[in-house]
Structure 1
Amino acid sequence: MKLLPFVIADKEKCTGCRVCEIACHSYHHNVGKTIGTVTGPIIPKLFVTRKSGAMVPVQCHQCEGAPCARACAHKAIHMEDGRLVIDTGQCNNCRDCIEACPFEVINLAPAKAADPCVSSSEGE
């Protein structure tokens, strides 16, 4: 499977501090000085999770011919400007994309569509 360009986090250097999550959220959501609130939680495109006892950075691999997009019956996931985009207005939270992702990256954020890369209800 060919992968499109994406940020690579070095798991050997990861300390589990999660600063990459904050930086990613800040960049993609243009939050200004306040990052993460009760009504606007941090929703990064890169996140840190515990696997086999170690903290590991995980992010969308931007697969060409993305299995997640092919699995979505509602066509909520599509390629736009060389990156995968999820239209939250089209997503019905069926979780088919989560099951199809070979890297186990997609998850459901609270009250949001599945969010591996870029989410938009306006197609931004």
Structure 2
Amino acid sequence: MNCQPPSQAPCLLACKENAIEILGGAITINSDNCTRCRDCVEVCPLDVIKI
């Protein structure tokens, strides 16, 4: 949620499954699309994504 601008968040760009979305300005993970590959976890500079 702290990446600015959200559209350039490393997790959003790294997700091959389009499971990371921006809703109301917040970055969220769509669990229906997430395959738990952990690519987003590896690139998150804030270490806030837990799978």
Give the shorter-chain TM-score range: 0.7 to 0.9
Quote the residue 1:91 is aligned against: 34
What secondary structure is seen at the aligned counterpart in 1 of 2:22? strand
Amino acid at match of 2:11: C
> Aligned partners of 2:47, 2:28: CA distance in 1, in Å?
17
**Equivalence for 2:19:** 76
Poorly superposed stretches of 4+, deviation over 6 Å: none
Distance 2:21 2:30 in 1: 8
State the match for 1:43 in structure 2. Answer: none
1:107 CA drift (Å) = 1.2
- Give the aligned residue type for 1:81: G
Structure 2 distance, partners of 1:83, 1:104, is 16
Q: 2:42 is aligned with what amino acid?
A: E
Larger Rg: 1
* Pick aligned residue for 2:46 from 93, 103, 108: 103
Question: Identity across aligned pairs (percent)?
Answer: 42
- State the structure with bigger RCO (CA 8 A, min sep 6), 1 or 2: 2
Task: Return 5+ residue gaps in structure 1 as ranges.
Answer: 1-59, 109-124
Query: What do you get for the CA RMSD once the two structures are aligned?
Result: 1.1
Q: For this pair of structures, how many residues does the alignment match?
A: 48
Structure 2: tracts of 5 or more residues without a match: none
